[in-house]
Amino acid sequence: MIFTNDNGGGALSDNGPNFHHKFTLWEGGIRVPAMIRWPGRVAAGENDSRPAISMDVTATVLAAAGVTASK
């Protein structure tokens, strides 16, 4: 199960404790959390601070399913 967001909420959004919104370099625009639950592959409570983009998720899900992406 994967939960993520694109890059913060728009100008009229409440981005929680983060400052500012989409299209800015503040944490409300670029520090967007992602949560993954993958029993047997990702340990509970594990934290990884490496940057990722949504296209990374697509490649990971395809590989996990044993699917080769077409070009």
Query: What's the average pLDDT block by block, 10 residues per block, for the chain (71 residues)?
Result: 72 78 74 79 86 78 86 73
User: Longest Cα pair distance anywhere in the chain, in angstroms?
Assistant: 41
Distance CA 52, CA 14 (A): 23
pLDDT at 24: 77
This prediction's pTM: 0.50
pLDDT at 14: 80
Distance CA 47, CA 43 (A): 9
pLDDT at 16: 79
pLDDT at 31: 66
